[in-house]
């Protein structure tokens, strides 16, 4: 495709976007990011994953995005860097500690965590304030991290199912250790209540544990059989508002594009499943993201298979496997790049309160925030 044809595709997409997006804003980072982490309802933290020195930034989203009326009168319509700093290595995982101005990161090379202070009104510098040691010395693929709101800042971290622990940040003391004989590489860690968490493995196994007890964790195997070469990514639909963890829905997505929904009350049976319309190919553990919408019942977002972010409505899926088409696709990262660039989405995240607002980042350093229109609702 030559340059005039590329311009035509871009023009067509921008015209189409007037009908398919309520809001769409773009930003360009100097280096791409694999992490987008909310630090408030209007700010996110991003960081580069290059092999050496990288920026770590806190960005404020365009104020115009949050203007309910008279958006045209809102002067500021761009992202703004409010705090910034540098890391000595890559950032492959990053989590904000609720109730604090701290974020915790991991470089994807070891089990050690880096602790950062985001700064405040008197300083625009993000600076490293400490580190947290992991249970394993060597950690291929790096540690996964989860954090919860507590009186003393704490983080849950580990690279494999056998080395997960809860650590108090101030003292560095371990408060809980997941006791299991397995050593499965983790794809994610996630609290589903203040005490109950999921340790999700790349082979599809999910360990359900309670930090209040020394009891052995429950094991939830993948509802469908998979080969050794298949990777799985997992997300749970609950949060601090979920009083009963057994009511949580779990989505497991395989590298072959199969998505399986189950719940903790019946862990071995698939409540529903579908074969997603994704470009299945060899994936690394850090490539793919699947996430439940926190304020839009039954919807998930999927990215990492291509240059698009796909939204699926799981409420129409059935127990038997069938093909599913996306409810919406955000293709903005690829249409604004050259076809030979091979741009792919590196991360996405839903807004915690705005039902159809997401942020996404791509391998070309682009960051988009977009509010999509559900065309099926109109029809």
Determine, yes or no, domain membership for 1.
no
pLDDT digits over 239-270, tens only?
A: 444 556 667 899 999 999 999 999 877 777 88
pTM of the model: 0.91
Q: Which of 221, 249, 273 is the last residue of a domain?
A: 221
The pLDDT, as a whole number, for residue 288 is 94
Q: Within this chain, do residues 249 and 153 fall inside the same structural domain, yes or no?
A: no
The pLDDT, as a whole number, for residue 240 is 44
What is the residue range of 311's domain? 18-30+232-374
Q: Which of 189, 221, 253 is the last residue of a domain?
A: 221
The pLDDT, as a whole number, for residue 32 is 96
The pLDDT, as a whole number, for residue 229 is 72
**Cβ contact 356:372 at 8 Å:** yes
Angle (CA) 99 236 24, round 5°: 70
What length is written for the chain?
Answer: 379
Determine, yes or no, domain membership for 8.
no
**Cβ contact 134:93 at 8 Å:** no
Counting beta carbons within 10 angstroms of the beta carbon of residue 188, is it exposed (0 to 12), middle (13 to 18) or buried (19 or more)? Answer: buried
**Cβ contact 242:224 at 8 Å:** no
Q: Within this chain, do residues 51 and 182 fall inside the same structural domain, yes or no?
A: yes
The pLDDT, as a whole number, for residue 35 is 97
Q: What CATH code is carried by the domain that includes residue 351?
A: 2.130.10.10
**Cβ contact 160:197 at 8 Å:** no
State the 10-residue block means of pLDDT for the chain, 379 residues long. Answer: 57 79 92 96 96 94 79 67 96 96 94 93 92 78 91 93 94 92 92 92 93 90 71 80 67 94 80 90 85 95 95 96 95 77 92 96 95 77
The pLDDT, as a whole number, for residue 239 is 46
The pLDDT, as a whole number, for residue 234 is 95
**Got the DSSP string for 27-76?**
EE-SS-BS--EESSSSEEEEEB--SS-EEEEEEEPPGGGG-SS-GGG---
Q: Within this chain, do residues 44 and 96 fall inside the same structural domain, yes or no?
A: yes
What is the rounded distance in angstroms from the CA atom of residue 279 to the CA atom of residue 26? 25
- Dmax over Cα atoms in the chain, in whole Å? 64
Q: Within this chain, do residues 71 and 107 fall inside the same structural domain, yes or no?
A: yes
What is the rounded distance in angstroms from the CA atom of residue 196 to the CA atom of residue 190? 9
Residues 6+ apart with CB under 8 A from 39: 45, 58, 96, 101, 103, 118
Determine, yes or no, domain membership for 249.
yes
Angle (CA) 280 284 287, round 5°: 80
pLDDT digits over 170-218, tens only?
A: 899 999 999 898 889 999 999 998 899 999 999 999 999 999 998 889 9
Q: Count how many domains the chain has.
A: 2
């Amino acid at each position: 495709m030559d340059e005039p044809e590329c311009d035509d595709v871009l023009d067509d997409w921008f015209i189409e976007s007037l009908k398919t997006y309520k809001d769409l804003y773009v930003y360009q980072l100097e280096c791409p990011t694999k992490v987008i982490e909310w630090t408030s309802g209007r700010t996110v933290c991003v960081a580069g994953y290059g092999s050496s020195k990288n920026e770590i930034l806190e960005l404020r989203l365009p104020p115009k995005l949050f203007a309910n009326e008279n958006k045209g009168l809102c002067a500021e319509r761009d992202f703004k860097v409010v705090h910034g700093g540098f890391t000595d290595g890559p950032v492959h995982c990053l989590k904000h500690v609720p109730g604090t101005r701290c974020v915790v990161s991991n470089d994807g090379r070891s089990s050690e965590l880096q602790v950062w202070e985001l700064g405040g009104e008197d300083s625009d510098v993000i600076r490293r304030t400490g580190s947290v040691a992991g249970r394993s010395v060597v950690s291929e693929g790096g540690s996964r991290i989860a954090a919860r709101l507590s009186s003393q800042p704490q983080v849950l971290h580990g690279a494999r199912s056998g080395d997960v622990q809860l650590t108090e940040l101030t003292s560095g003391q371990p408060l809980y250790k997941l006791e299991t004989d397995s050593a499965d590489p983790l794809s994610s860690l996630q609290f589903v209540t203040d005490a109950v968490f999921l340790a999700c493995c790349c082979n599809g196994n999910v360990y359900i544990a309670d930090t209040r007890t020394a009891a052995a964790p429950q094991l939830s195997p993948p509802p469908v059989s998979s080969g050794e070469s298949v990777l799985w990514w997992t997300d749970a639909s609950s949060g601090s508002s979920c009083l009963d963890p057994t009511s949580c829905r779990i989505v497991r997505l395989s590298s072959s594009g199969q998505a399986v929904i189950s719940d903790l009350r019946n862990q071995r049976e698939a409540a529903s499943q579908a074969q997603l319309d994704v470009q299945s190919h060899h994936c690394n553990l850090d490539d793919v993201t699947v996430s439940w919408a926190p304020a839009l019942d039954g919807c998930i977002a999927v990215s990492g298979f291509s240059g698009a972010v796909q939204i699926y409505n799981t409420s129409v899926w059935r127990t038997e496997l069938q093909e599913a088409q996306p409810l919406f696709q955000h293709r903005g990262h690829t249409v604004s790049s050259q076809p030979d660039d091979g741009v792919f989405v590196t991360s996405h995240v839903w807004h915690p309160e705005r039902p159809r607002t997401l942020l996404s980042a791509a391998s070309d350093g682009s960051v988009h925030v977009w509010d999509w229109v559900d065309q099926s609702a109109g029809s």
